Chains A and B, each alone.
Chain A
Amino acid sequence: MLSGMESRTVAWQPIADTPVAYLREGDETHPPLDSPAYKSTLLRHPRAPLLYLPQTLSEISGPALGAAARLGPLDHDLTRQHAGAPIGERLIVQGRVLDGEGKPLRGTLVEIWQANAAGRYLHKRDHWDAPLDPNFSGAGRCLTDDDGRYRFVTVKPGPYPWGNHHNAWRPAHIHFSLLGRAFAQRLVTQMYFPGDPFFPYDPIFNAVRDERARERLIAAFNVHETVPQWAQCYEFDIVLRGPAATPFEEEL
C-alpha cells in the first residue's frame, strides 16, 4: 500500500475546452464482457443488454484525485521503494496519455501494479510457487506532466501460470489504471511486451477481437530512450476516448 492520497480540496482550475460529451465506442475496441474462453467471465457478465446512459454533468466530470494526490517522491520508481534493488531486468516504462483527438491529458493519475521478475504478486491470494522479492512491492503511481507524459522505473514482470485451462500462462504484463479527466474516460488495462510467446494462448489478451486493437496493448521497445549501462526503455501510449463530434460536425 502506497502512502499519500489524503482527502483535501484543491484550487479550482477551470479549463475552457472541457468536452460536453465523449465519443461512444463500438464493439471493436473493448473486449466483450461475455468472452467464454476466459472462464471467469461466465458467471460475471450481465445477460441483459447494457442500457443507454446519456452523458450528463455526472458522466463528463471527473475526480480531482490527480491534483489532490500527495505522491511520495519514489512512488514512480518501483526499484527504489525498499532497502535494496529488486531482482530482474530494470526497465523504464514511459509514454503519453492522450484523448481521441491526440490532445495530451495533463495532471491525470496513472497507477500501475505488476508481478515481480519471477511472476509472483505480493498478494495474499497469489499462491504460485515462485519467490517473492523482499525488495519489490510492485505498485507505482504518478501524474502526467504538461505534455501528458508519465514515466516509471521498474523491473520486467515474469509470466505466470493460472488455472483458466490446461497449461495456461499469462503473458508478462503491467496493469495500468487511468482516471482521465471525466468519469466517461475511466480505463483499466494491461500493457504487454512485444513478441511474447504466450500471446496466441491468452484468452484475456485475445478477448480484444480486433488485431489492430490488440496491438495497441503492446509497448514498443525504444532504443533511443534506453539508458546505457542502466535500463531498457519501453514506450506505451494510452489513448482515452475523446470528445464526441459536435452536432454541427455530424451534419456535414
Chain B
Amino acid sequence: MKRGPALLIALVTSLLFAVFFLYPAGMVVKQAFVRPADGAFTFDFIGSVFGNPIYREGLWNAFILGAVSTMATLLIAFPLALIGHRYDFRFKNALGVLVLAPMILPPFVGAVGVKQMLGVDGALNALLMKLGWMAADAPYDWLANGRFTGIVLMNALHLYPILYMNIAAALSNLDPAMEQAAENLGCSPFRRFWKITLPLAMPGVFAGASVVFIWAFTELGVPLVFDFARVAPVQIYDGIKGLDKNPIPYALTAILLVVAALVFAFSKLVMGRSPLGTAPRPKGRMNVEKVGGVKGLLCASVFAAVFIVASIPHLGVLLLSVAETWYGSVIPEHLTMRHYHEALGNGLVVPSIQNSLMYASCATLLALVIGLGVAWVVVRSDLKGRGFLDTMVMMPLAVPGLVMAFGYLALSQEGKAFHFLVGEGGSPFFLLVIAYGIRRLPYIVRSAVAGLQQSNIMLEQAAASLGANPFRTLRRVSIPLIGANLAAGSILAFAFAMLEVSDSLILAQQAQHYPITKAIYTLLSTLGNGTELAAALGVWSMAFLSVAIIGAAVLGGKRGGLFKV
C-alpha cells in the first residue's frame, strides 16, 4: 500500500526534476560544447575561454572571491556557533535571532549601503575625520583592491548565517555524551574542542561551507553593484545580449557548474566518510554552561559585535532612504520621507512588490507540496532508490542560480521547449515560480525530513490502526506534528525567493513583471534619486522579511517544547 503512492511521488518528482532542472542545466552544458552551425561536438569554446586572459582572470577572481568569502564566513560563523552551543547567557535567544539579520537584505542592496558607510566619502571616514583621527585630505579606501575587499566583506556579512545555522545544527545533533565522556576521562575544555567537538562537527562545517562557497563563487548582484566586471558571473550577465551569436557565456557557465559540482561532491565525500552522517538524535542532556558576570557579558558581546557589523549595510540602506543628500558626512544632513512618497508613485515599485509576493508565495507552495511528498517517501517509505531521490532534490544547492537562470532563459526563447511557459506579454510568472520553487526545494525537504525523523512513527501507525488511510494520516497526524518544521522551512524558502537575484535579473525582461530585486537593480542605475528610491524599496523588503524570519525563528524554537514526543 505504501509503495504505490511513494512510487508515484518519486516518479512525478523525478520527472519534474528531469524537465526543469537537469534539462536546462544540461542544455547550458551542451551549448558550451556544440557548434551552433553544424551541431558538432567541440572544445573550442571552452578552449577560447581559457585562451582569453580576460575570462581567465574572471574565473580566477570568482574562485578567489568564493574561497576568501568562505574563509571570512567561517571566521564569523564558527565562534558564534560554538559559543551558542557551549554557553547560556543573558539575551542569548534575542541575540541568536539578531545575528540572522543579514538574511533580510538582498546582498547587492546591502552593497549599496556598504558603499555609503565605508566608501572613501562614506560615513566611517567622515566620522574619523570629525574626530581628527584621519587627515581630511587623505581618506582611507576601506573597500580597496579593485573593490575586492568590499565584495568579500559583503559576501561574508550576507552568507555567515547559512554557515552559522549549519554548524549550530551539527553541534546540537552531537550526542552530548560524547563531550561528557571526554570530560569525564579528564580532557580539558580546550583539548576536548580539538579532539572531539571539531572532528564531529566537520560534516556540518563542510555542508555549510560548500553552500557558501558556491553562492559566493557565482554571486552576481554584489560585483555588479561594486562595478567589478572582471569576474565570471558578471561577464556571463554582460554576455546575455548577444547570446544567439556568442557561445562564450555558455562555456563560462558550464565551467562554473563543473567547479560547483566538484566542490559539492567533495564536501559530500567528506561527510560520507564521517560516521556522524546517520547518527541518531542525541539522547543525553546537553551540557550547556550557564554563564553570568564578565564571561556572560563577553559571550553576549561577541554576538552583539557580529550583529552590529552585520547591520552596517542595513544602516547604510536605511539612512540612504531618508537622506536628502548624503555625501561625506557621518549621517545625512537633511532627513526626508520624500523618497518613500516618490517610490509609491514610481511605476516600478508597487508592481514589483506585488509581483515578488506572488512569485515567492506560489514558488513556496510548489516547493512545499513537492518537498513534503519527497520527505515522506525518504523517511517513511521503503521504496528502493529513495536515497537517490533525497540526493537529487538537494542538487539545486550545488548548481549556481546563474546556471539555472541561463538555462531557463535559453529554453524560453521563441521556438524552444519552455517557450509555452512564457505568459501573456512576456510574463515570466511560470518560469520564475518554477525556478524559485526548485531552487528553494532543499530547504523544505530538509526541514520536513528532520520533522518526520523526529516524530515517532508510532503516532502514524496508531492512526492507521484506528482506521485512517495514509492520506488521512498525513493530514490529521503527520502534518500537524511537523507543522512547525514545515512553517520554518517554508518561511526560509519564501524569504530566499524574495531575495533571489540571478533568476530575477535574467528572466524578468519587462518592467511590469519585475520582481523587487530587479526593480531595485534598475532603480540603482536610474539617474536622479534612483539610488534613494531603491534604498526605500530595500527598507520595505527588509521590514517584510524580518517579520518572516522572526516568525520562522519563533516557530522553530517552539518545535522542541510544544511537540515533545
Are A and B genuine complex partners?
Answer: no
